Amino acid sequence: MADKPPQNTGKPPKQKAVALRYETEHEEAPRVVASGEGFIAEQIVRIALDNGITVHKDSDLVEILSKLDIDALIPIEAFAAVAEILSYIYRTQGREPGS
């Protein structure tokens, strides 16, 4: 049996946001440090931007990461996507990982 398509309630989907921390010298993988939707997601993004932290939009990745508990390491399925994003951020900031 096929899943029914979601009904259009007229409301836009709630924004979701996940914040990661990666201390290359101390951790084997990035860790979830904040996660939320709606107003909380807006606050996560605002705080990041206010502190000069790069924000990247990826709806598929946020769906995976938003299911994790706070302080959880990212799952192996997300490693490649997160590594690509971190690599891009480091390059644009002229930094090396761990610096």
CA-atom Rg of the chain in angstroms: 15
**pTM for the whole structure:** 0.77
User: Contact at 8 Å (CB) between 16 and 49?
Assistant: no
Q: What is the pLDDT of residue 1?
A: 44
- Residue 6 in any domain: the answer is no
* Boundaries of domain holding 60: 16-92
The answer on pLDDT for 95 being more than 90 is no
The answer on pLDDT for 92 being more than 60 is yes
Q: Residue 39 is part of a domain; what is its CATH number?
A: 3.40.1690.10
Residues 6+ apart with CB under 8 A from 20: 30, 31, 32, 33, 65, 74, 82
- Residue 80 in any domain: the answer is yes
Question: How does pLDDT run across 13-51, given as a tens digit for each residue?
Answer: 789 999 999 888 888 899 999 999 999 999 999 999 999
The answer on pLDDT for 78 being more than 80 is yes
- Residue 4 in any domain: the answer is no
Calculate mean pLDDT across residues 43-71.
94
How many domains are there within the chain?
1
Q: Which of 80, 92, 28 lies closest to 55, judged by CA?
A: 92
